[in-house]
Structure 1
Amino acid sequence: MSLLDPFSRALAAVLAATHDGLSALGLPADSALTWLLCIGAVVVLVRTALLPFTVHGVRQAHAASRARPHLREIADRYRGRTDADSVRQMIAERRAVSAEHGVSRLGCLPLLVQLPVWLTLYHLISDVARGSAVGAMGPALVASLGAASLLGVSLAGTGYLGGGPAHLAVVLGLALTAAALSYATQKFFVAPNTVLDGMPEAVATAHRLMPTLSAVGLVVAGGVVPVALLGYWVLSSTWTLAQSAVVMRWFPTPGTEAARRPA
């Protein structure tokens, strides 16, 4: 039994319950629209549940930005002083500045908490699309998802080639849509709201390359994952873009390009 099994079964129950509800409202049980709405419901539920961690992350980014000039000044003042007393005093001063500005020493904890959820959601959609029953998503529902088709392309189908021009168009269209959303999010909403001053050049370069790398990665992955998972990526990327736009517009990180833009 995997440590992620409880999360997986909980999300499977949401997926199954949403499908039952939509079917009761008259939507076709084996329709791609029905299943994409089910996946969308899971995305909304998960992302809404994770909003407190998002808010915490925004607050920590603001706190770190306010503390950064003071921490840089301390580093400059103690540069070259390697004796034990200087090191202890520098650490104490850094801790005092971090505490004053509210910088948590567990700043990465929200991300670590979210990772199991992302992994579970990814594997759940992937496993069900490949025909594996998971919790409340029993064989009948798995078969229903497998029978659903988007413009004639099965939600369980994979790969760019082998299914004809329509299959290629649908899969490539979904992959390019997810890639475009990811690129736009990183390029126009995350990058302008990220402080790069004082970061090592390698880190700054990685940040500048992130929009392209994320987009290319999605296009490459689009050729090996089920169509249902591509649908999930499009829906999840749409939420991420909207969320990032809200953060940049109304809660920009101090010292960034986004914060300097006129309101």
Structure 2
Amino acid sequence: MSVFAALVSQLASLLEPLFASSATAAAIVLFTLGVRLALHPLTRAAVRGEKARARLAPRVAELRRKHDRDPERLQRATADLYAREGTSPLAGCLPMLLQLPVFFVMYRLFSASEIGGRANELLGDRLFAAPLGGHWADALRDGGPLGAQGIVYAGLFALIAAVATWTYLRARRAMAAGAPDAAAAEAGAGAGMPGMPAMAGMAKVLPLLSFGTLITAAVVPLAAGLYLVTTTTWAAAERAWLLRVGGTGGSPVVAGKGGSRCPDA
């Protein structure tokens, strides 16, 4: 964590002439963009895998109907199908999973009072009027939702809500364009339980997970919330672009059948 703190501090020092007291916040945004850029090849691969899963979705649905009363055989048959085609129902989750350590380090960095036995100076840095180590509850106590700090959080929440709504509407349109059985089968496969009857409802529930970021941002330090809004905004824009160009510069991906079962993050 001390290495991470040093990187953020050095980047903030470089940005201070431009962003003054908000230099550390700007450093967090740039650092997050750097992480997302490094993960871009994996995201492209995930979209290519999504295109393959879209093509396989009717065959997965057929397997589900054929082996509906034998879950173990269904799971083996589905796994064999994905293996033969060189894809995986969980491949789309890899970029999201690789970001989790960065998020947790960011959370710890702006929650710890000391780093390496010394006072954590980053806690005093701010995004406009709000300290990066503060929480929304602190802002509500200090001026209320329309106070100087509350307005910073309001802007953060508004941006997260806008991205989540866009992601949700796109997912709903994709779901409406696809076959319900194929979408349910893919939802089950994405959860590691292909063909389970309970997975039929997951196809409808999963798009709502994008709003979970809004709840998370309300309880974590502002710095972690800033990381979340940056990474989700990048993810939504990147995914829309990759789906438009097909992930590899080819024809557009038809995301309506068997799209990624991982929320944009």
TM-score after normalising by structure 2: 0.69
Determine which structure has greater relative contact order: mean sequence separation of CA pairs < 8 Å that are 6+ residues apart, divided by chain length.
2
Q: Secondary structure at the match of 2:93?
A: helix
Task: Give the 3 Å change call, closer, same or farther, for CA 36–94 of structure 1 in structure 2.
Answer: closer
Within the alignment, does 1:153 sit opposite 2:130 as a pair? yes
Task: Give the 3 Å change call, closer, same or farther, for CA 258–120 of structure 1 in structure 2.
Answer: closer
Q: Is the 8 A contact 2:142 2:149 kept in 1?
A: yes
- Paired letter, 2:244: R
Cα distance per residue 1:90-147 (max 9 Å; x no partner): 957973x54553334xx425635752x4232222222222344557xx957x41x322
The aligned residue for residue 249 of structure 2 is: none
Task: Give the 3 Å change call, closer, same or farther, for CA 158–101 of structure 1 in structure 2.
Answer: same
Query: Which of residues 51, 59, 68 is equivalent to 1:70?
Result: 59
Q: Which runs of 5 or more structure 1 residues have no equivalent in the other structure?
A: 1-7
Q: Is the 8 A contact 1:66 1:101 kept in 2?
A: no
Within the alignment, does 1:206 sit opposite 2:188 as a pair? no
Within the alignment, does 1:102 sit opposite 2:86 as a pair? yes
Task: Give the 3 Å change call, closer, same or farther, for CA 196–168 of structure 1 in structure 2.
Answer: farther
Query: Which of residues 213, 218, 233 is equivalent to 1:238?
Result: 233
The aligned residue for residue 256 of structure 1 is: 256
The aligned residue for residue 106 of structure 2 is: 125
The aligned residue for residue 163 of structure 1 is: 142
The aligned residue for residue 226 of structure 1 is: 221
Q: CA deviation at 1:77?
A: 5.0
Q: CA deviation at 1:185?
A: 1.9
What is the alpha-carbon distance in structure 1 between the residues aligned to residue 133 and residue 69 of structure 2? 60
Q: Percent identity?
A: 26
- Paired letter, 1:214: S
- Paired letter, 1:68: A
Cα distance per residue 1:216-239 (max 9 Å; x no partner): x34433432222222222211210
Q: Is the 8 A contact 2:110 2:133 kept in 1?
A: yes
The aligned residue for residue 10 of structure 2 is: 17
Q: Secondary structure at the match of 2:218?
A: coil
What is the alpha-carbon distance in structure 2 between the residues aligned to residue 152 and residue 132 of structure 1? 20
What is the alpha-carbon distance in structure 1 between the residues aligned to residue 166 and residue 78 of structure 2? 39
- Paired letter, 1:162: R
The aligned residue for residue 190 of structure 2 is: none
* Higher Cα radius of gyration: 1
Q: Which runs of 5 or more structure 2 residues have no equivalent in the other structure?
A: 186-196, 247-251, 260-265
Task: Give the 3 Å change call, closer, same or farther, for CA 132–71 of structure 1 in structure 2.
Answer: same
What is the alpha-carbon distance in structure 2 between the residues aligned to residue 128 and residue 237 of structure 1? 20
Task: Give the 3 Å change call, closer, same or farther, for CA 9–111 of structure 1 in structure 2.
Answer: farther
Aligned residues: 234
What is the alpha-carbon distance in structure 1 between the residues aligned to residue 205 and residue 149 of structure 2? 31
The aligned residue for residue 188 of structure 2 is: none
